[in-house]
């Protein structure tokens, strides 16, 4: 992401606008969270109603008394039926039932009517004002959830829009490098302006196509919402194009200047050029594929919730307290880096994706490594990888998305094998770092004292652990929700807000302090949510280009003589996709284009998807984009991340931040991709 690199950086995003956007994004996240919890709350109300009033489902305060009659003269009714039969002038009734059959039928009807009246009277005796009030609330919630199923989609568009606007004001859309001159500024803002207008034009054309298609009213309304959002973003870019900071250096157009244009702009231009050159949708293609975001809105909403979790974690002292546990041991850089890789994988799984974790605590990780004496390059490499190895662990959102889009695999299977992939990659990292750094034994002189200090450092974490346990219990007790990969996006934001409140130890009111920290976290969430979701949305259009151009399908023959060659080709292809696309959009693309052909050529489905996730992580660490390195630069600063190290003795040391992650994840991918082939039938 772009970040401040000079004095004008702090003035680019008016604080009041950012706070306002942060507050709006927080409200939208809370609304989406409540809607996500709504079904659980309703189910819990039904369960509690059944426990309090047995037979709750059949109790209806608005039920009317049965209209049938119980006081019936059966003999008289039988004679009336027989007379009606004799008066039939056309004999249409045929032979008809006998007198005895009529009697049994009428008697059975009377008995059923009496039973209905008895049930109604018994129900009326059980209906109390408390039940009526409870039933009213429960049914109102059910009706509201049913009538507003599409509301979450519009809230998601608003979330993306306000987040993207915040990122635009703060100049935080993801780019290879930030604008450092007026020329860069003009290129960045003009690029966004052009792409946002192209999106409006494409969506307008798609809307026109839908007008002529029956039963697309709801989809047409979505296009209006999308057009409004991109029109507002274009207006922001137009204003900022002519209101650049006064102290921004003039500069000259350089070869690297286009790198200041956000990545989503390049994706949008690529998609528009392809679709406008002819095809099934022509210029509407961008709009068609952007709508995949709303098609899978419930999954992408979770990204926003996980970003909020990460930013709330950043507002606590929990990362510092965890690092305080190992500080007494005075670990050398190699050992500390290895420990960081092992330890940070698990919280990464709880923040949804590697990039979110880096944004949340990457700065703390980097500072601790530097404090321990680690070189700048090793610290940057470790920070960039600190989230990469946890994406295969439960309850990571990326695995949930894979399982949701592909019925051939389950989350339990992916998480089960993912754990061993994590152990493998972390072990490879440890071996490579300890071999290159040489020193790995702790430098502590008094192990017993270090142990006491570590145990003492555990004490401040006890209240956090107790609070988490209590919150998880309350979710189960009140809403019947168990903590797992499906409920984590709804439970974690509330748990993190509680942890922020517990963690506050500054002066003044705890409520005021907690509110301020939540506001700060929400403001940062707004920036990152907008940048990430915008990148995901335009990544969908790149996926559309690859899908509609049949480039990927053309690489798969109808038959393959060797599964080994298929796997080797997949490793290269999936890594390239990971280099240029956001992980969630890449999963959608691979699910639609690559997965089934690869499985059809003999690649096991579980093997394919585990290999895909590892290849994506390798792609996120591979230039020219290297998303995780961009996010690392975001949290440590441009000057710190890109400072040259001419004193480095060799090429590896000079570019260790790039080479080490590539070696670790490249080796992991080769083992994950090739070793399972030995066990194929």
Q: Among candidates 538, 525, 607, which has minimal Cα distance to 172?
A: 525
Mean pLDDT, the chain, rounded, equals: 84
192-214: per-residue pLDDT in tens?
Answer: 999 999 999 999 999 998 998 88
Looking at the predicted structure, is the pLDDT value of residue 340 above 70?
A: yes
- Reference 490, options 479, 506, 499, 477; nearest CA is 479
Q: Is the pLDDT of residue 550 over 60?
A: yes
Query: What digits encode the pLDDT tens for the residues 287-338?
Result: 998 998 888 888 888 888 888 888 888 888 888 888 889 888 888 888 888 8
Q: Given this model, what pLDDT does residue 647 score? A: 67
What pLDDT was estimated at residue 13? 46
Q: What percent of the chain has pLDDT over 70?
A: 91
Q: What does the DSSP 8-state code read for residue 679?
A: G
pLDDT of the residue at 16: 63
For residue 345, name the pLDDT band (cuts at 50, 70, 90). Answer: confident
Q: What is the predicted pLDDT for the residue at 135?
A: 87
Residue-wise pLDDT tens digits, 533-544: 998 889 888 888
Check residue 4 and give its pLDDT: 39
pLDDT of residue 9 exceeding 70: no
Number of Cβ atoms within 10 Å of the Cβ of 326 = 20
Count of CA atoms in the C-beta half-sphere (13 A) of 260: 22
The tokens describing 168, both together, are 């635009």
Per-residue pLDDT of 638-671, as tens digits, reads: 777 777 666 667 888 888 889 999 999 999 999 9
Residue 17 has what pLDDT?
A: 60
54: tokens are 């047995």
Q: How confident is the model at residue 55 (pLDDT cuts 50, 70, 90)?
A: confident
pLDDT greater than 70 at residue 91 = no
> What ranges do the domains of the chain cover?
533-679
Residue with tokens 């194929």: 680
List pLDDT tens digits, range 126-163. 888 888 898 888 888 888 877 777 888 899 999 999 99
pLDDT of 124 over the 90 cut: no
Q: Is the pLDDT score of 529 beyond 50?
A: yes
**Cα torsion for 288, 290, 296, 298, to the nearest 10°?**
-140
For residue range 376-397, list pLDDT tens digits in order.
888 889 888 886 777 788 888 8
DSSP calls for 188-239:
HHHHHHHHHHHHHHHHHHHHHHHHTSTT-HHHHHHHHHHHHHHHHHHHHHHH
Structural element, H or E, at residue 326: helix 318-326
CA–CA dist 8, 249 (Å, integer): 9
pLDDT value of position 3: 42
Most confident of 523-532, 648-657, 671-680: 671-680
pLDDT at 12: 43
38-62 average pLDDT score: 84
pLDDT of residue 318: 87
Specify the pTM.
0.80
DSSP calls for 608-637: HHHHHHHHHHHHHTSTTT-HHHHHHHHHH-
pLDDT band for position 464 (50/70/90)?
Answer: very high
pLDDT at 6: 37
Alpha carbon distance 342, 424 (integer Å): 11
pLDDT cut 90: percent of the chain above it = 26
pLDDT at 548: 80
């Amino acid at each position: 992401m772009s970040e401040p690199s000079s004095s004008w950086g702090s003035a680019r995003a008016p604080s009041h606008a950012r706070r306002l956007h942060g507050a709006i994004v927080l409200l939208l996240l809370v609304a989406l969270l409540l809607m996500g919890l709504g079904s659980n709350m309703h189910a819990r109300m039904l369960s509690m109603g059944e426990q309090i009033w047995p037979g709750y489902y059949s109790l209806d305060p608005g039920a009317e008394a049965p209209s049938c009659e119980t006081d019936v003269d059966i003999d008289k009714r039988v004679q009336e039926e027989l007379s009606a039969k004799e008066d039939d002038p056309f004999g249409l009734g045929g032979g008809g039932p006998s007198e005895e059959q009529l009697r049994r039928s009428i008697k059975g009807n009377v008995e059923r009517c009496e039973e209905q009246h008895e049930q109604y009277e018994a129900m009326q005796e059980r209906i109390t004002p408390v039940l009526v009030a409870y039933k009213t609330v429960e049914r109102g919630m059910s009706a509201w959830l049913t009538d507003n199923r599409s509301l979450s989609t519009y809230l998601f568009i608003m979330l993306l829009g306000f987040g993207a606007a915040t990122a635009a004001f703060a100049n935080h859309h993801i780019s290879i490098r930030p604008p450092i001159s007026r020329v860069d500024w003009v290129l960045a803002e003009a690029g966004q302006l052009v792409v946002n207008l192209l999106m409006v034009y494409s969506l307008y054309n798609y809307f026109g196509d839908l007008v002529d298609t029956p039963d697309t009213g709801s989809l047409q309304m979505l296009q209006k919402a999308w057009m409004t959002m991109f029109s507002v973003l274009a207006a922001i870019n137009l204003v900022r194009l002519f209101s650049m900071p006064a102290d921004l250096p003039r500069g000259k157009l350089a070869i690297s200047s286009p790198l200041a244009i956000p990545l989503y702009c390049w994706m949008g231009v690529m998609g528009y050029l392809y679709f406008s050159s002819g095809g099934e949708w022509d210029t509407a293609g961008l709009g068609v594929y952007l709508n995949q975001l709303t098609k899978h809105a419930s999954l992408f909403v979770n990204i926003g919730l996980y970003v909020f979790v990460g930013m709330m974690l950043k507002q606590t002292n929990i990362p510092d307290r965890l690092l305080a546990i190992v500080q007494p041991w005075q670990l050398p850089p190699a050992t500390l880096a290895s420990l960081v890789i092992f330890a940070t994988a698990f919280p990464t799984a709880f923040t949804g994706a590697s990039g979110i974790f880096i944004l949340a605590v990457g700065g703390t990780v980097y500072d601790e490594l530097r404090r321990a004496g680690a070189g700048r390059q090793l610290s940057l490499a470790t920070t960039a990888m600190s989230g990469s190895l946890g994406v295969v662990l439960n309850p990571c959102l990326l695995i949930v998305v894979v399982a949701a889009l592909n019925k051939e695999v389950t989350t339990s299977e992916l998480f089960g094998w993912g754990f061993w992939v994590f152990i493998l990659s972390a072990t490879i990292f440890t071996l490579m770092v300890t071999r290159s750094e040489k020193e790995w034994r702790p430098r502590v002189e008094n192990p017993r004292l270090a142990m006491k200090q570590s145990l003492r450092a555990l004490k401040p974490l006890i209240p956090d652990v107790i609070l988490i346990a209590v919150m998880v219990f309350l979710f189960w007790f009140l809403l019947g929700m168990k903590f797992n990969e499906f409920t984590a996006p709804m439970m974690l934001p509330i748990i993190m807000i509680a942890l922020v409140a517990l963690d506050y130890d500054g002066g003044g009111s705890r409520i005021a302090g907690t509110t301020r920290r939540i506001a700060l976290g929400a403001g940062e969430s707004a920036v990152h949510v907008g940048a990430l979701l915008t990148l995901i949305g335009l990544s969908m259009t790149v996926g559309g280009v690859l899908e509609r151009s049949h480039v990927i399908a053309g690489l798969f023959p109808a038959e393959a003589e060797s599964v080994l060659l298929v796997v080797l080709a997949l490793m290269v292809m999936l890594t390239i996709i990971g280099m240029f696309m956001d992980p969630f959009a890449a999963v959608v693309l691979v699910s639609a284009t690559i997965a089934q052909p690869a499985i059809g050529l003999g690649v096991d489905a579980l093997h394919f998807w585990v290999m895909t996730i590892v290849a994506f992580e390798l792609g996120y660490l591979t230039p020219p984009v290297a998303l995780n390195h961009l996010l690392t630069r975001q949290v440590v600063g441009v000057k710190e991340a890109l400072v040259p190290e001419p004193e480095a003795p060799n090429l590896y040391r000079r570019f260790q931040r790039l080479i080490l992650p590539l070696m670790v994840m490249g080796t992991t991918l080769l083992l994950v991709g090739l070793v399972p082939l030995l066990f194929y039938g």
